[in-house]
């Protein structure tokens, strides 16, 4: 004897809702060229129109030949890199979609720490003693305080 499976209206509604959410998420990810953000290609950063000025500045900067956006803006360990990319992707897509970003864009304190750590990592031979001395005195060394135009070119 065969039993017919009963499909509840609530189960059907939940399945439909999940399907719509998955479909919309997939469409949005595809439309926003989401896989490009998993690469190291700096052009991915200008998928969002607000980043054009930073990208153009980077192309004219001293670091253009030796560093991409990820070299400065995300940690270099595998987990840290992709956790930062998820965080950036969520915050940036939310801000861009809702149009609630500050112009000109600003770096968060946490992201500034990542940038500062990457400055020191790349230039340790030159700044190791400076950073080490400042840390013992209790000062905070800020590379971008004096070198703000290095990564993104001269400010207007």
Average pLDDT estimate for 79-107: 85
Q: What is the pTM of this model?
A: 0.74
Contact partners, residue 130, CB within 8 Å, separation at least 6: 141
pLDDT confidence of residue 72: 93
Per residue in 120-134, pLDDT tens? 899 988 887 776 666
Mean pLDDT of the chain: 82
**Angle 109-122/124-137 helices, nearest 10 degrees?**
130
Long-range contacts of 144-148 (CB under 8 A, 24+ apart): 144/112, 144/115, 144/116, 144/119, 147/119
For 84, the token pair is: 């930062």
pLDDT confidence of residue 111: 94
Average pLDDT estimate for 52-71: 89
For 32, the token pair is: 């926003």
| Nearest CA among 99, 101, 97 for reference residue 32 | 97
pLDDT confidence of residue 140: 67
């Amino acid at each position: 004897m065969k039993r017919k499976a009963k499909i509840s209206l609530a189960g059907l509604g939940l399945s439909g809702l999940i399907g719509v959410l998955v479909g919309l998420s997939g469409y949005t990810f595809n439309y926003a060229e989401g896989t490009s953000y998993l690469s190291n290609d700096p052009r991915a950063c200008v998928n969002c129109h607000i980043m054009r000025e930073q990208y153009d500045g980077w192309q004219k900067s001293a670091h253009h030949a030796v560093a991409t956006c990820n070299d400065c803006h995300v940690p270099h360990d595998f987990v840290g890199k992709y956790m930062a990319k998820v965080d950036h992707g969520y915050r940036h897509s939310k801000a861009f979609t809702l149009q609630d970003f500050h112009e000109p864009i600003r770096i968060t304190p946490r992201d500034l720490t990542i940038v500062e750590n990457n400055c020191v990592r790349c230039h340790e031979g030159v700044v190791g003693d400076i950073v080490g001395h400042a840390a013992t005195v209790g000062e905070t060394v800020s590379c971008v305080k004096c070198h703000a135009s290095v990564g993104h070119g001269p400010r207007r």
